[in-house]
Amino acid sequence: IPASVRTEIDNMYEFLPELKKHFQVMKKIGEGTFSSVFQAKLRNHPKVDQLFALKHIIPTSHPSRIETELKCLQQLGGKNNVMGVELCLRSKDHIVIVMPYFPHDRFQDCLLSLTPDEIKNYMKNLLIALRHIHEYDVIHRDVKPSNFLFNRKTQQFSLVDFGLAHKAPVALKKNDARTQFELPIYHQSPKKKNIKTTSKLEASSHGPLRSLNASKGPSLALDKRGHKSHKNTTSVTTGSTSRSVRSPRQLLLMKQAMSKARSSLSSSSQKSSSRLITCSCFGKAMVCRICTEKVNQIAPRAGTPGFRSPEVLMKYPHQTTSVDIWSAGVIFLSLLSGRYPFFKANDDLTALAQIITLMGSEPVKNAAKIIGKDLICLPQTKSMNLQNLCFNLRNVETNEKFKPGTQTKNKTASQFIEAVTHSAFDLLVKMLDLNPNTRITAEDALEHEYFK
């Protein structure tokens, strides 16, 4: 054990003497933003060979967050591919969650050698876990390979890490035990008003799209206050304040977009849409009174940028369990294309630009409209055919990892794509539906032809 880990373990023993009494910590197995995870065995029962995973949550975590994680593990876990909990130890602000140890493989290590059948089994088991938690209206919010443990040899799976989970708005079903599953509400502190900072970022496709030499993604600018825009700029406006210096052509384009948005939104009952209609400063170098009086729109945006759905990226406040399906769709895309991470973005705007590069500007714009947002995107980009894209990505050996012979037991890309079947891509498209309202549910996905 490295000295630094030894110190960490000793500190944990010191904070939680009870832990030291019962467990012998063997090694560190994971470290995230909010925790460190260790492997341990029982100290006083040498004959018991059961191993445990101890998750030491960072002391600054919000209590409701910890409560959420425990509640999910305890009440929803232990079945349907969802991790369970054995015990929880606490001393002051130090908390350790004790789970059964789940031996697992690293996603990126197996990715290129997974057979089409293994991919199908992976997706099926992921959807089983999601169907289970979604039945309780719980959104995981951080579905990604490192939170869905998988053991290739035993073909076992386990969804972990409910640190970001929360309840979706429930369509009340009377006396349903599932709706009585409550989670604490974690209030994100509202963002400060009048933020002066400018978020303008070049969309860089570090991910697989780049290696395909796909048309470079558009650049994005979140239309906040007072910053210059330039050619090839996509503005993501949230229907709130906007005061930018723009060229006459840009103003014209914006005015056109606004009048289009007005006419298409006038029938909508969305509050955010009506805000957009009444605002009179859009595209002008000023902020009107209506806009200055607006409350900042707050929407959950936890998770990992590359797995965030378009509605999360565009700060849509009414998110549902469908955000997890999008993330699962991104994993599916990795499995089919053999590229991980598929979207490599450090921030929301880059992530959105990459989605636009893949799905095309018009479809993303239309999806934005449905959730009451006005997305302006220049230049226009076409959508890619996901099946062809996966074929090309499997075919092009640009990546170092593509050493000859490692690729799916020497199967050629076309053989691979053929074996995957067309129905896989049909399901993929339904999971990566830009419109959260029509995106397939876990329950329906499991009924899809792909799994028949």
Secondary structure (3-state) at 237: strand
| Nearest distance, CB of residue 310 and Mg ion, angstroms | 22
Residue for token digits 């993929």?
428
Q: Is 54 among the residues that bind ligand ADP (CB under 6 A)?
A: no
The site string for ligand ADP over 353-392 (x = CB under 6 A, - otherwise) reads ----------------------------------------
The one segment of 159-167, 296-304, 316-324, 335-343 that binds ligand ADP by CB under 6 A: 159-167
Q: Are 387 and 422 in contact (CB under 8 A)?
A: yes
Q: Nearer to Mg ion by C-beta: 161 or 348?
A: 161
Rounded Cα distance, 270 and 273, in Å: 5
Amino acid at residue number 203: A
Rounded Cα distance, 138 and 178, in Å: 10
Restricting to residues 122-151, name those near ligand ADP by CB under 6 A: 146-147, 149
Where would I find the H helices in 229-270?
Answer: 248-265
CA 322 to chain centre: 11
Q: Which residues bind Mg ion (CB under 5 A)?
A: 32, 147, 161
The residue from 12, 40, 96, 99 that contacts ligand ADP (CB under 6 A) is 99
Nearest CA to 209 among 376, 364, 383? 383
Q: Would you tell me how many other CB atoms lie within 10 Å of the CB of residue 231? A: 10
Rounded Cα distance, 442 and 325, in Å: 7
Q: Is 101 among the residues that bind ligand ADP (CB under 6 A)?
A: yes
Nearest CA to 317 among 355, 283, 275? 275
Instruction: Name the burial class of residue 47, with classes exposed (0-12), middle (13-18) and buried (19+) by CB atoms within 10 angstroms of its CB.
Output: exposed
| Nearest distance, CB of residue 50 and ligand ADP, angstroms | 12
Rounded Cα distance, 348 and 364, in Å: 14
Rounded Cα distance, 101 and 78, in Å: 12
- The token duo for 108 is 């990126």
| Nearest distance, CB of residue 146 and ligand ADP, angstroms | 4
The one segment of 30-38, 114-122, 287-295, 379-387 that binds ligand ADP by CB under 6 A: 30-38
Q: Nearer to ligand ADP by C-beta: 149 or 328?
A: 149
CA distances from 69 to 53, 65, 136, 157, 324 (A): 15, 6, 14, 19, 16
Q: Is 83 among the residues that bind ligand ADP (CB under 6 A)?
A: yes
| Nearest distance, CB of residue 57 and ligand ADP, angstroms | 8
The one segment of 97-105, 294-302, 369-377, 408-416 that binds ligand ADP by CB under 6 A: 97-105
**Which of ligand ADP, Mg ion, none does residue 101 bind (CB under 5 to 8 Å by kind)?**
ligand ADP
Query: Active site includes 161?
Result: no
The residue from 114, 123, 160, 351 that contacts ligand ADP (CB under 6 A) is 160
The residue from 13, 20, 24, 30 that contacts ligand ADP (CB under 6 A) is 30
The residue from 13, 102, 186, 402 that contacts ligand ADP (CB under 6 A) is 102
- Catalytic position from the list 137, 142, 324, 374: 142
Which residues lie near ligand ADP (CB under 6 A)? 29-30, 32, 34-35, 37, 53, 55, 83, 99, 101-102, 146-147, 149, 160-161, 163
What positions carry a catalytic annotation? 142
